[in-house]
Structures are given as C-alpha cells and as structure tokens.
C-alpha cells in the first residue's frame, strides 16, 4: 500500500531564482525505509516540511503530496492536524531547539496524547511513561519530570521520538535526527529506530547528509542535489552503480574507514611540541544561581608531536579535546603541567606569551564564518597578524605576504574585498587557514575544522592542509569526532575519553587492531558507506549504552560502558603503558583481541 | 551577533519602508527647522499684544498664528524644534559614548571587575533619576548645558547594559579567540573587533533613546525647569499651549503634532533598523 | 533556585547602600543651603539653626548620623515643614501614589498583554496594524499632553468625570489620572508582548508543536503563552520605576497630593532631608520590586529554577 506519494513537488521562494525543490517525485510504501540524501541546500528539509505542511507563508508550492490517497498539499492547518502525529509524524534535527524548554517532557507528551484523545486524562501519565520506556530512556519516571535542558543530547532525541510515536503513526519522518549527536549515541538512536520499525512496521523517511547512515539503515534511497532528484533506487544498487556524475562524486567523498592512511613523515629526533602532564579544570562561571562547578576536563595528559607530523585527536563530547586545544594555545590556562615548543616551555596564558611564541602555534576553528571578524574585510583579516608581528614592513610587502598566504590556501584574490558573511563555508575556512598560515607557524591546531563543511568541500580543505604540510614541514593537530577524517590524514591517532588518553597509536595499527575497548566501540559505531558490508561480528554487544556525562567513575573511566570490564577495572585506574608499540590505558590490553 | 557597517548593510537597512519614510520625515523636519525661520520676517521673541491669539493665516506670514503674547508661532515652533532636536541629539550622543565605553569595558574585562561595574549601574538604576535631575536643575539654576548632561546621564545606563550584554556574547565568539591568539592587545581587540560589531545594536538603541531624551526635556520644561524664555523648545511650546487650549487650540495642536511626529518617526526608524539588522544579527 | 534567591537578596543590600551614599552626596553637593530662601538671619541665629540640624558637622559624620537614623526607620526632620518628620510626610503622601501606581500597572498589564497577544497572533492583518499604530501613538505623545486633552474632553466638555482631585470625593476621580499614567505603559507593553509573541511563534519548538497536530489554541495556550510572557515579566521592573516617576507629572496635573508633588515642592523649597528621604525611599522601593521581579522570573524559567 502506498503511504506517501509526492508528485512534481516544487517549492520556490520570492527573491530567489532557483527553486528550493524542483519537480520532485517519489513514493513510500507501508513499512519502507527510505533514505533521503544530499548535501546542504539540496532541499531535503524543505521536502519534509512540505509533506508535513510546515513551510512558512512565503513558500510557493506546486505539485501534490498525497497520503494514503488523500491530498495534503494546499490544505488548511486544521485539516492537516487530523493527519499530523496520528498518521505521519516528524522528528527534527536539533532536539535542544525542537523541544519546548519551558515544559517538562511529561507535560509535552501528555499534551499530544490528550489533544488527539489517545487516552483520557487519568491514563495519560502511564501511557507517557510507557512511551519513554519504549525509547529506552533509563529511569522513565525521572525523565518524565525533567525539563529538556536536564537531559543529554541522546536522551533528548529519544524524547522527541517518543513524542512522535504518541499516536502510533504509520510514517515517521526523521530530519537529520542524529547529526548533532556523538557517534556512539548516534549508533544507539539508529538502532532504536531499527528496532521500532521491526516492532511496529512503521515506515521511515530518513533524511541525512551521511551516506554511511543511509547505507546501514535504509533499504531504498533518494539522492537530491540543488532541489532536484538525482537518483532513486534500492540502496545497494545506487551504491554499486550510480547513474549520475554528482552521485559518484558524493560517494567518493563519503565516509570510508578503509581509506589508505597517509605516508609516514620523515623521521625527526626532537619533537616540536611536547605536552607534559597537562591538567585543566573547568570552572563554571557562576551566573548567580549555579554552584561553582569544577571538574577535571583534561587529566594528566602527555604526548609529543614531531615536525611534519599530523596527530589526530578523536573523542566524543565531553572528552576534553577542545579544552586541550585551547590550553595548548593558551586561550585557557592549564592548572598544572606544561606545554613546550621546541624545548622551551610556553606560558600558560596567551597574553603572557611572547609574540614570537604566539606566531608559532596557530589555530583554525570549527565554525568558519564565526571565526572571522564580521566587520573586517578578508584582506584586513589576513593582513592583521602581519601588521602585528612585523610592524616594520611596508604596505607593499605586507600585501605580498597576504597574497602568498591566499595562494597557498587556494583563495581567489577577488575575495580580498569581501566580508565574511558573503563567503561560503569553504571559502571562509580557507580565509581562516590563510590567516593562520600567514605567520608561518610551526604547529597548526585544527579544532573540528571541517565538521561544518560538506563532503566535497571537506575533502578539498583536507588536501590543502596536507599539501601545506608537505611544503613547509608544518605539524598538525587535528581534533575531530569524525574517524574517517582521522583515517584520511593522521599519522598517529590519539583517542581521548573523559579527559584521559585511552589509546595512542599509529594510524594503520589503530584501525586494524584497536587495543582499547572504547576505540573498538567507536569504530563499530561509525556508519560506513557500504551497504554490502555485513554487520560487524564483534558487535555482539550491540552499540554501547549510556553516554559521557556526570561524574568520573572510579577506576577506569570507561568501565561502566565497557563490555570487557572486570573487577579490577572498577578499582584501579589504568595507567597509560606501551603494549606492542601502542600506548593504551587498559588493564586488559594484552589479553583482549579486538580486531 | 554582528552587523557589519558596510555599504551593503546600509543599503539593506534603508530598503525597509519604515526606515525610509521615517528617515525622510525627520530630514524634512530638520531642514524646515533650520531654514524655516528665515522664510518669515518675524522673530521668535517679539511680542505684539495687538496681534495676540490670531489663528493661522497667510496674511502677514502668520502661518501658525500667534500665541497669547502676540509672538509668532511659526518661527517659535521652528526654533523650538531646533532646540528640541539639538538637545536630543547631543544628549543621546553623550549617553552613547558613556554607555558604549563603560559597557564594552565591563563586558570585556569580565569577572570581578565586570560585577563591580554592573553593581554601580544597578545602584544608579535604582535612583529615580528624574528626581535627581529636578534637584540639580533647581540647585544649579537651569544651566542650558546642564540639561544635556542631565538627560545624557539618564540614558547611558540602558546603553551600558545593552553594550555589556553584547560584549559578553561577542567575547565568546571564535573570531575574538582568533584575534587573541594572533596577539592583538586587549584594547585593540575591543576597538577593532568588538565595537564595530556592536554598532548595529547601538544605532538601534540610539534611535530609540532619542525620543526618551526629548520627553525628558519636555517634562523639564513642563516643570518650568527647562529651556528659559524667550528661547523655547517643542516641549515648552506644548506646555504653553495647554493653558491656551480653549481659546487658541492651534497653539497646542501644532507643536504637539510636530512633537508626536518626531517621536513617532524616531520610534519607527529604530524599529525599522532593528528589523533590518536583526536577520543579520542572527546570521551564524 | 534557593541559591539564586539568596544571592539576589544579598546583592541588593550593597546596592541600596551605594544608592544612599550617592543620593546623600548629590543632595549635599548642590549649592545653596536649606535656609537660604528665608530672610537673611543674623549670624548668631544662623549658627544655632545650623547646629540644631547638625549642618555644622563634617560630611562623613552627617552621613553616619543619617544612616543610623535610616536603620531605625527615621528619615530625619523636614527642613521646610518644621513640625513634621520626613517619614510622616512620606507616610501621608505615599498611599495615594501607590494606589495610582498599582491601578495603572494593572490596567497596563491587562490591556497591554491582551492587545499584544492578539496583535502577535494576527500579525500583519488590519487588526495588528491598528493595534500597533495606536501603541505607537501612545508612546509618542507625552503624558502631559494626553492628560490635559483628556481633562478637556471628559471633564470640561462632556462633564462625565471630575476635572480635579479635590473637587470630588468619589472613586471616579481616579479614572483620568490612572488612564493618563497607564497609557504610555499600555503602549509599551503591547509592543513588547507582540514582539515576544511573534518571536516565540517562529521558534523551532512551536514548529514541533504544529508537527504534533496541535490546534492553534492549544499551541498558544500550552506552548507559547508562558515563554512569551517572560520578557514582559522582565520589563515589570523598569515599568514600575517608570510608573512611579510618571506619577509625578500626573499628580501635578491633577492636583493629587502624592509623593511626586511632595518631591517637587521639596526641591523648590530646598528641603533637603525631604528630598533625600523621598529619593532613598523610592530607590529602596525600586530595588525591592526589582528583586521580586527577578525572583519571579527565576521561578518561571525552568532553566533557572531547576538547573
């Protein structure tokens, strides 16, 4: 039975020449799982909103949307309310924004249940609790009374799913449901969706930019680009034999953990950067009502970086990688421990460092446009460091420096006069990189520098960094949650968990034979863009449960979630030690075979 | 939040109808106030009891009629408008400079310094300023300059709070971190990176505080503490008009209408600017 | 939440102290003494008078004396109304100002919030434009213009309401002053509520509520109304301050013997203790009310209530 039928859907807005969605045709049968893929701007969210009738008043919609034979497009809100939540429901991308922060989860659930008369007022609470249990929220009664801000990201998303399931709809539209989540939490949520589908036969329209997610969760898929339908078919056939050139490009740029690792850099005796027993505590700025919270976000961390080397630092939210980056550059002061550059210790705070020291370590941030001063033109942004560090240079020489930095970053000189908000994400990141490189630093730290960029742009930026490294001997610290990126460019990989190093190994070794159970869990959780791949045999434990929040557990910080934990793991903190050429902090490193 | 003070942004800001219309009205009024009096052969202070309480007419250039002392209302109104606008703009400028400097310093410094500075602001906020202004005006015998200072002193607190809030938010943005990393000294960070991005909000607020300044000045005139005769302001004219309401309604209506028009235009202008800059403010 | 409340209460105390210091300094910095207006006194009498009022002591001592008086609730004697203490004078005049203020706030909130919600819901329709236009006018016309016009229309021409305070002992005499005082606030609260409503209605969680098939009524009643009210609650602090000061004008225009009138007369009479007393009293009132409003806001926002 055809549940959803979209015919010739075209969405356009006044003031833009190209339609957001252009003559889209597809259908969904009962029990189907359809993945809708595309890069940003492809029109995926617009399509979902059009189906649900949630577009803004400015949208001009043509074409038809039919649900179970009934036309939904062009209908009044009152009419659509008979279908929404009851027969088709939607889960949104950012649960932090999508849930009402002023109501408890329980209240929000009850409202939907009562509005659609699923149960009467007396039974509403128990039905709500049942739904919360169904989405595998621990301690349902507590979540019922909680406000959204008291829940972690993964829990919030599950709450959203519970809300969507209130009336047992036949179709669930999920718009990038896991994009904002950690990869292990993503695995949990996707597995939940899979089980729900198996249990209730609900159809799923899963919107994502991640081909790996589609490959592992959807039987059929649609590829969109700039509002148009590129391909349609079973997931396997699209991956095996894409018809369109653009699809092929996307697939090529997709997540693959079997990407060949980069060549080893030339050997150096002396490390260029040394981090020694660094400790950073996070202190909440008490805004009047919160108690001053202090917890260790980086604990006793030590590692070194060689010239011309790329170290990838991976970890999920709360592992402390951003705090680590910021304390290396001096934006936050470490509580103890030291950071040394070329043998000399760097001052804890950036304000105390000499100009010479400052230029040697630079950073590129996650949000490209936000890292550029909005009121300054590109030319001034790149010139500012030069003006500061070499004040004696004349205007000509300064522009030469700027020009050469722009060339290295692959920037068109026409962009010199533009303002940051006029640049695309990729262009902005190139500007940020040129600004960082214009001083010819020895170490460049990239804090999630490509996380906000689309696949093809991401690739280009990564290549740029690698080229620059080869050219000038730059050392890179690449911080990310994305294992595929790490695979592509790192020589060595450092896995962080709750402020400590779990494992530090060579790229090839880490992926081929991880030594720490957390690394193994991370690798398992990454959805790979290969529909043919059989589910990992090693994941007999399924995706790991729980997430990183709250107090540090005693002993090994990972033990509550570890499939291999024994009594010793609860009692004794594992020290970082060398096992077969790999540094790992696990009591059972020698005996476990985690391949 | 940011608003690049670029040509492009100005273009966008002026694209809105509200901004254009209210802006034009204000410009017209300002020009009229400047040039108006020269169109008439009368002046603003000569009394002519024989011609008192005349209704507006084209004879003898009595465009707005005369008041109960026989003074020409057209010239008085125009000259009063000049004074009102002058007071408003100067006073707002004073509060702008004070507010931005104080707020940006407090916001950027953060921590205890910020807490202390804001505590002072809280204390000043609690003082019913209008009372203190009255007191000052009484004590210091209605000094013209004092009016500017007094009005500016009332409004800078709001500006300081807004600027401080914005600064706190901007301080956490990555471009500020990048600037610190490069080695930009704190004062330069504030001047070059933070203040230009505050301008949008500041401009909106200034256009909204100008009406407040005008109202305060009018109120002072109402109490007899404002502009001294024979100089006049719109507020003083309105007050004068109230007492002649029954016999010479035009003496009240014309300046009141003009006053209301100016206030409304500034409010619309502020609203329009805020709407125009807001989507940009939210751009991430 | 408790921590929040305690911190706010504690921080109000130094603020109040600072206010007293500032006001005291300002009053004593103004040139001219309280007795300058009177006939010129022979030096002997002038000295005695000064001593009786402790004006011959050093400023810090006078201040300490003043503060210790404050702690006992004694605001000092009035220089002008020799038989009365400042506290007595305030005590007589304040209840009236309070009534005026409360009634105006109630009216402003009632009308303002309703109009604002309606305008926000029916954005860009005729209804909205009308409401916004009226609100805009309300902000742009000074109270001392509105008041006499109201008096002219309703009291003189139509004779529906009493024109001045003392001529009538009925409750009706409140109507015009309250109306005049509340109009700018009605206008402001309408605009604020409307803007807040529009902003909330365009937020993501309202989109979720729509996706859940909730009717517009349900969405407004259960999801949108409370968050939309928060900025209005925030505004209550400044609003109260504005009403208290606006009352000065209204009291003078309508001849209401309230605190505002008392203050102006005190200023004109150089009655410094009275003036200082009223300023301190008002400041304390504003600080107290702001505190209450802050606590109320903290209570309403779950992020503050249950961190």
Residue by residue, pLDDT tens for chain A (595 residues) are 899 999 999 999 988 888 999 999 999 999 999 999 988 888 899 999 999 999 988 899 999 999 999 999 989 999 999 999 999 999 998 888 899 999 999 999 999 999 999 888 889 999 999 999 999 998 899 999 999 988 888 899 999 999 999 999 999 999 999 888 888 889 999 999 999 999 999 999 999 988 889 999 999 999 999 899 999 999 999 988 888 888 888 887 776 777 777 777 777 778 889 898 998 887 765 554 445 566 778 888 999 999 989 999 998 887 888 889 999 998 888 888 999 998 888 888 888 888 888 889 999 998 888 899 888 899 999 999 998 888 888 888 888 889 999 998 888 888 888 888 888 888 999 999 999 999 899 999 999 988 888 877 888 899 899 999 988 889 999 998 888 889 888 999 999 998 899 999 999 889 889 999 999 988 888 888 877 776 554 444 456 666 666 678 888 888 888 888 888 888 888 888 898 889 999 888 888 887 7
pLDDT at res. A534: 61
- C19 Cβ under 8 Å from any chain B Cβ: yes
Kindly identify which residue of chain B lies nearest to residue A417, measuring between CA atoms: B6
Nearest to A9 by CA among A68, A57, A58, A71: A71
Q: Which chains touch C (3 or more CB pairs under 8 A)?
A: A, B
Cα separation, B255 vs C86, in Å, equals 40
Q: Do C218 and A86 touch (CB under 8 A)?
A: no
Q: Where are the alpha helices (DSSP H) in A137-182?
A: 140-145, 153-165
Nearest to A358 by CA among A432, A431, A442: A442
Report the mean per-residue pLDDT for chain C: 81
Helix (H) or strand (E) holding C167: none
pLDDT at res. B216: 80
Strands A492-497 and A500-506: antiparallel
Of these ranges, B240-249, C11-20, C173-182, C185-194, the one predicted with the greatest mean pLDDT is C185-194
Kindly identify which residue of chain B lies nearest to residue C286, measuring between CA atoms: B126
Q: Which residues of C touch B120 (CB under 8 A)?
A: 18
pLDDT at res. C110: 93
Burial group, residue A578, by CB count within 10 angstroms (0-12, 13-18, 19+) = exposed
Pairwise pLDDT comparison (C192 vs B111), residue with the higher score: C192
- Count of C-beta atoms within a 10 Å radius of residue B27: 11
Q: Do C218 and A90 touch (CB under 8 A)?
A: no
Q: Do A374 and B4 touch (CB under 8 A)?
A: yes
pLDDT above 60: residue C36? no
Q: How confident is the model at residue C32 (pLDDT cuts 50, 70, 90)?
A: low
Percent composition of chain B: helix, strand, coil (DSSP 3-state, to 5): 75, 0, 25
Q: How confident is the model at residue B196 (pLDDT cuts 50, 70, 90)?
A: confident
Kindly identify which residue of chain A lies nearest to residue B7, measuring between CA atoms: A419
For residue B243, give how far its alpha carbon lies from the nearest alpha carbon of chain A (Å).
52
Measured between CB atoms, which of B192, B193, B284 is closest to A370? B284
Q: Which chains touch A (3 or more CB pairs under 8 A)?
A: B, C
Nearest to C252 by CA among C243, C240, C239, C264: C264
Alpha-carbon torsion (C95, C98, C104, C106), positive or negative: negative
pLDDT at res. B185: 87
Alpha-carbon torsion (B160, B163, B169, B172), positive or negative: negative
Q: Do C279 and B131 touch (CB under 8 A)?
A: yes
Q: The sheet that has A344-345: what strands, in order across it?
A: A294-305, A273-283, A336-341, A344-345
Phi/psi of residue A313, nearest 5 degrees: -110, 120
* Strand partners for A305: A273
Q: Do A84 and C204 touch (CB under 8 A)?
A: no
Cα separation, B116 vs C42, in Å, equals 48
Q: Which residues of B touch C275 (CB under 8 A)?
A: 131, 135
CA distances from C102 to A293, B196, C99 (A): 42, 42, 5
Q: Do B181 and A375 touch (CB under 8 A)?
A: no
Q: Which of A23-27, B243-247, B275-279 has the lowest mean pLDDT?
A: B275-279
Place of tokens 């949208």: A59
Structure tokens at A141: 């009664």
SS3 A91: strand
- B196 Cβ under 8 Å from any chain A Cβ: yes
pLDDT at res. A542: 56
Nearest to A4 by CA among A70, A99, A76, A86: A70
Sequential DSSP letters for A483-533:
HHHHHHH-SEEEEEETTEEEEEEEHHHHHHS--SHHHHHHHHHS--S-TTS
Q: Which residues of C touch A107 (CB under 8 A)?
A: 222
* C-alpha count within 13 angstroms, C-beta hemisphere, residue C288: 6
SS3 A404: helix
Cα separation, A270 vs C216, in Å, equals 68
Q: Do A100 and C218 touch (CB under 8 A)?
A: no
Angle between helices A121-134 and A105-115 (to 10 degrees): 120
Strand residues in chain B grouped as ranges (E): none
Assess contact for C262 and C89: CB atoms under 8 A.
yes
- Count of C-beta atoms within a 10 Å radius of residue A407: 12
Q: Do B135 and C282 touch (CB under 8 A)?
A: no
Q: Which of A274-283, A530-539, B43-52, C124-133 has the lowest mean pLDDT?
A: A530-539
Q: How many residues are present in chain C?
A: 307
Q: Which residues of A touch B193 (CB under 8 A)?
A: 373, 375-376
Q: Do A80 and C203 touch (CB under 8 A)?
A: no
Cα separation, B163 vs B204, in Å, equals 12
Kindly identify which residue of chain B lies nearest to residue C142, measuring between CA atoms: B215
Percent of residues, chain C, with pLDDT higher than 90: 14
Q: Which residues of C touch A94 (CB under 8 A)?
A: 204
For residue A546, give how far its alpha carbon lies from the nearest alpha carbon of chain C (Å).
21
Helix (H) or strand (E) holding B147: helix B144-171
For residue B126, give how far its alpha carbon lies from the nearest alpha carbon of chain C (Å).
5
Cα separation, C149 vs A565, in Å, equals 83
Q: Which residues of A touch C219 (CB under 8 A)?
A: none
Burial group, residue A24, by CB count within 10 angstroms (0-12, 13-18, 19+) = buried
Assess contact for B210 and B92: CB atoms under 8 A.
yes
Place of tokens 């060689």: A306
Pairwise pLDDT comparison (B201 vs B283), residue with the higher score: B201
Domain ranges of chain B: 3-283
- In CATH, B3-283 is 1.10.3720.10: yes
Q: Do C278 and B131 touch (CB under 8 A)?
A: yes
Q: Is C158 left (phi over 0), alpha (psi -120 to 50) or beta?
A: alpha
Rg (CA), chain C: 24
Measured between CB atoms, which of A84, A102, A289 is closest to C4? A289
B contact test, residue of C80, C145, C275 with most B CBs within 10 A: C145
Cα separation, A183 vs B167, in Å, equals 34
ipTM of the complex: 0.82
Cα separation, A188 vs A191, in Å, equals 5
Place of tokens 């060549």: A263
Measured between CB atoms, which of C8, C210, C226 is closest to A102? C226
Q: How confident is the model at residue B11 (pLDDT cuts 50, 70, 90)?
A: low
Pairwise pLDDT comparison (A156 vs B130), residue with the higher score: A156
* Strand partners for C84: none
- B178 Cβ under 8 Å from any chain A Cβ: yes
Angle between helices B73-109 and B17-39 (to 10 degrees): 140
Helix (H) or strand (E) holding C31: none
Measured between CB atoms, which of C211, C302, C306 is closest to A54? C211
Of these ranges, A107-121, B238-252, C65-79, C241-255, the one predicted with the greatest mean pLDDT is A107-121
CA distances from A167 to A161, A192, A197, A391, A408 (A): 12, 18, 15, 68, 56
Q: Do A373 and B8 touch (CB under 8 A)?
A: no
Q: How confident is the model at residue B5 (pLDDT cuts 50, 70, 90)?
A: very low
Sequential DSSP letters for chain C:
-HHHHHHHHHHHHHHHHHHHHHHHHHHHHSSS-TTTTSPPPPHHHHHHHHHHTTTTS-HHHHHHHHHHHHHTT---B-SSSTTSBHHHHHHHHHHHHHHHHHHHHHHHHHHHHHHHHHHHHTTTSHHHHHHHHHHHHHHHS-HHHHHHHHIIIIIIIS--S-SSSTT--SGGGGHHHHHHHHHHHHHHHHHHHHHHHHHHHTSHHHHHHHHTT--HHHIIIIIIHHHHHHHHHHHHHHHHHHHHHHHHHHHHHHT--SHHHHHHHHHHTT-HHHHHHHHHHHHHHHHHHHHHHHHHHHHH-HHHH--
């Amino acid at each position: 039975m055809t549940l959803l039928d979209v015919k010739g859907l075209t969405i356009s807005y006044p003031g833009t020449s190209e339609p957001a969605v252009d003559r889209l045709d597809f259908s969904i049968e009962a029990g189907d799982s359809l993945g809708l893929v595309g890069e940003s701007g492809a029109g995926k969210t617009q399509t979902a909103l059009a189906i649900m009738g949630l577009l803004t008043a400015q949208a001009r919609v043509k074409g038809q949307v039919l649900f179970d034979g009934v036309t939904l497009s062009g209908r009044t809100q009152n009419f659509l309310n008979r279908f929404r939540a009851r027969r088709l429901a939607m889960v949104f991308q950012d649960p932090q924004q999508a849930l009402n922060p002023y109501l408890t989860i329980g209240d929000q659930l009850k409202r939907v249940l009562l509005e659609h008369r699923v149960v009467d007022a007396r039974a509403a609470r128990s039905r709500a609790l049942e739904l919360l249990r169904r989405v595998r929220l621990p301690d349902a009664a507590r979540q019922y009374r909680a406000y959204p801000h008291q829940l972690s990201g993964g829990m919030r998303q599950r709450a959203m799913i519970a809300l969507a399931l209130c009336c047992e709809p036949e179709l669930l539209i999920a718009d990038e449901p896991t994009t904002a989540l950690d990869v292990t939490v993503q695995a949990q949520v996707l597995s939940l969706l899979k089980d729900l589908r198996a249990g209730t036969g609900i159809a799923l329209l899963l919107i994502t930019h991640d081909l790996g997610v589609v490959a592992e969760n959807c039987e059929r898929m649609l590829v969109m680009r700039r509002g148009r339908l590129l391909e349609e078919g079973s997931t396997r056939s699209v991956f095996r034999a894409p018809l369109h050139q653009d699809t092929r490009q996307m697939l090529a740029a997709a997540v693959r953990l079997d990407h060949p690792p980069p060549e080893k850099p030339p050997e150096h005796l002396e490390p260029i950067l040394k981090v020694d027993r660094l400790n950073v505590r996070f202190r909440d700025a008490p805004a009047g009502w919160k108690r001053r919270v202090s917890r260790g976000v980086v604990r006793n961390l030590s590692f070194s970086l060689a010239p011309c080397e790329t170290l990838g630092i991976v970890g999920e939210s709360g592992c402390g990688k951003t705090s680590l980056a910021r304390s290396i550059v001096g934006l936050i002061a470490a509580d103890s421990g030291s950071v040394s550059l070329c043998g000399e210790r760097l001052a804890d705070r950036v304000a105390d460092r000499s100009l010479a020291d400052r230029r040697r370590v630079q950073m590129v941030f996650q949000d490209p446009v936000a890292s550029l001063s909005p009121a300054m033109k590109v030319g001034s942004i790149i010139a500012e460091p030069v003006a500061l560090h070499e004040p004696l240079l004349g205007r000509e020489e300064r522009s030469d420096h700027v020009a050469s930095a722009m060339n290295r970053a692959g920037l068109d000189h026409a962009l010199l006069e533009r303002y940051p908000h006029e640049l695309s994400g990729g262009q902005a990141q190139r500007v940020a990189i040129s600004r960082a490189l214009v001083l010819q630093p020895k170490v460049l730290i990239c804090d999630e520098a490509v996380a906000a960029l689309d696949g093809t742009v991401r690739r280009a930026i990564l290549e740029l960094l690698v080229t620059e490294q080869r050219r000038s001997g730059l050392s890179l610290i690449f911080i990310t949650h994305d294992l595929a990126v790490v695979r592509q460019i790192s020589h060595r990989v450092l896995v962080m968990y709750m402020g400590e190093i779990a494992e530090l190994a060579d790229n090839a070794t880490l992926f081929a034979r991880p030594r720490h159970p957390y690394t193994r869990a991370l690798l398992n959780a990454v959805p790979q863009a290969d529909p043919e791949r059989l589910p990992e045999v090693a994941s007999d434990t399924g995706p790991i449960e729980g997430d990183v929040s709250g107090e540090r557990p005693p002993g090994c910080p990972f033990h509550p979630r570890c499939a291999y934990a024994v009594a010793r793991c609860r009692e004794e903190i594992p020290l970082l030690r060398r096992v077969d050429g790999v540094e790992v902090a696990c009591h059972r490193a020698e005996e476990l075979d985690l391949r | 939040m940011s608003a690049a003070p670029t040509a492009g942004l100005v273009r966008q800001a002026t694209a809105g109808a509200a901004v254009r219309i209210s802006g034009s009205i204000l410009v017209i009024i300002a020009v009229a106030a400047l040039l108006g009096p020269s169109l008439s052969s009368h002046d603003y202070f000569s009394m002519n009891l024989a011609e008192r309480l005349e209704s507006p007419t084209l004879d003898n250039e009595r465009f707005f009629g005369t008041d109960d002392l026989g003074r020409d209302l057209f010239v008085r109104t125009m000259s009063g408008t000049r004074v009102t606008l002058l007071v408003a703009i100067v006073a707002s400028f004073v509060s702008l400079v004070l507010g931005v400097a104080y707020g940006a310093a407090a916001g950027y410094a953060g921590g205890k310094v910020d807490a202390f500075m804001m505590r002072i602001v809280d204390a000043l906020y609690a003082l019913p300023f209008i009372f203190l202004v009255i007191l000052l005006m009484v004590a210091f015998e209605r000094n013209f300059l004092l009016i500017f200072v007094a009005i500016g002193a009332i409004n800078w607190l709001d500006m300081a709070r807004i600027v401080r809030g914005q600064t706190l938010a901007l301080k956490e943005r990555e471009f500020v971190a990048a600037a610190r990393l490069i080695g930009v000294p704190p004062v330069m960070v504030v001047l070059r990176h933070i203040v230009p991005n505050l301008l949008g909000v500041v401009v909106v607020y200034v256009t909204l505080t100008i009406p407040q300044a005008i109202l305060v000045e009018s109120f002072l005139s109402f109490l007899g503490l404002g502009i001294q005769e024979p100089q006049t302001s719109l507020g003083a004219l309105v007050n004068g008009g109230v007492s002649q309401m029954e016999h010479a309604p035009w003496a009240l209506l014309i300046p009141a209408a003009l006053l209301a028009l100016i206030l409304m235009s500034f409010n619309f202008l502020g609203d329009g600017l805020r709407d125009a800059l807001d989507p940009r403010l939210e751009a991430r | 939440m408790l921590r929040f409340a305690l911190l706010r209460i504690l921080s109000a105390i130094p603020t109040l102290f600072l206010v007293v210091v500032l006001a005291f300094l300002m009053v004593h910095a103004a040139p001219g003494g309280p007795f300058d207006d009177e006939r010129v006194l022979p030096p002997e009498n002038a000295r005695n008078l000064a001593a009786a009022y402790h004006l011959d002591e050093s400023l810090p001592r006078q201040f300490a004396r003043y503060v210790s008086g404050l702690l006992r609730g004694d605001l000092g004697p009035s220089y002008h109304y020799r038989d009365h203490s400042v506290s007595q004078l305030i005590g007589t005049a304040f209840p009236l100002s309070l009534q005026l203020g409360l009634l105006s706030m109630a009216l402003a909130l009632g009308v303002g919030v309703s109009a604002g919600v309606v305008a926000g819901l029916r954005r860009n329709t005729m209804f909205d434009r009308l409401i916004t236009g009226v609100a805009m006018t309300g902000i742009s016309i000074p109270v001392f213009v509105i008041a006499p016009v109201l008096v002219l229309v309703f009291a003189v021409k139509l004779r529906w309401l009493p024109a001045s305070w003392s001529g009538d002992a009925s409750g009706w005499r409140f109507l015009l002053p309250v109306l005049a005082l509340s109009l700018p606030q009605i206008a402001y609260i309408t605009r604020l509520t409307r803007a807040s409503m529009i902003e909330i209605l365009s937020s993501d969680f309202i989109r979720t509520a729509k996706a859940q098939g909730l009717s517009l009524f349900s969405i407004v009643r259960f999801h949108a109304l409370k968050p939309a009210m928060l900025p209005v609650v925030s505004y209550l602090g400044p609003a109260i301050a504005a009403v208290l000061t606006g009352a000065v004008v209204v009291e003078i225009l309508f001849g209401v013997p309230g605190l505002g009138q008392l203050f102006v007369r005190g200023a004109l009479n150089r009655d410094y203790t009275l003036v200082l007393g009223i300023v301190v009293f008002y400041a304390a009132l504003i600080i107290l009310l702001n505190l209450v409003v802050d606590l109320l806001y903290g209570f309403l926002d779950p992020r503050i209530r249950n961190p």
